[in-house]
Amino acid sequence: MTLATYHRKRSFTATPEPRGWVGARRAKEPIFVVQEHHASHLHYDFRLEADGVLKSWAVPKGPAKSTRTKRLAVQVEDHPLAYATFHGKIPAGQYGAGTVKIWDHGTYENITTKDGKLVPLTRAIRNGHLEVVLHGTELRGGYALIRFKGKKDWLLVKMKKKS
């Protein structure tokens, strides 16, 4: 895992966002966070802890709470774990300028399987298909992320099972 892209896009003398580093794998339940980001276009950043970073997707309409609604989720650069508690104002002229609020946070359980075996989250991301159970306040239950074209475009869907 690397935060090179995250670091390259930002000037840490100008933005209050954390510089951060790739963290150690933790024994605790992995975390997720959804940040409401009032940038040039309002979107929701959906982040899952994996291998010491936050794997991240920008969801223009935000995660749905209904199993009938699919939401576009564009994968973006990995963020540091410290970003999970970040909220505040990114100054004008900086990457992602605008206000960031924490919309939901909690822990998650990876339930992605292949041939009856659990698939580690980073491998599931490489494979383009992951399933997690979210234990948040706004978001609870099973969610799947499915890559549908190219490398960055995914669909975020609430699963009927595990809800």
Q: Where along the sequence are the contacts to Mn ion (CB under 5 A)?
A: 37, 45
Q: Closest CB to Mn ion among 36 and 51? A: 36
Closest residue to Mn ion, based on beta-carbon distance = 37
Q: What is the four-CA torsion angle of 105, 111, 112, 114, rounded to 10 degrees?
A: 170
Compute the C-alpha angle 76/79/50, nearest 5°: 95
Q: Closest CB to Mn ion among 37 and 158? A: 37
Cβ at position 43, least distance to Mn ion in Å: 6
Cβ at position 115, least distance to Mn ion in Å: 35
Cβ at position 27, least distance to Mn ion in Å: 29
Q: Closest CB to Mn ion among 45 and 78? A: 45
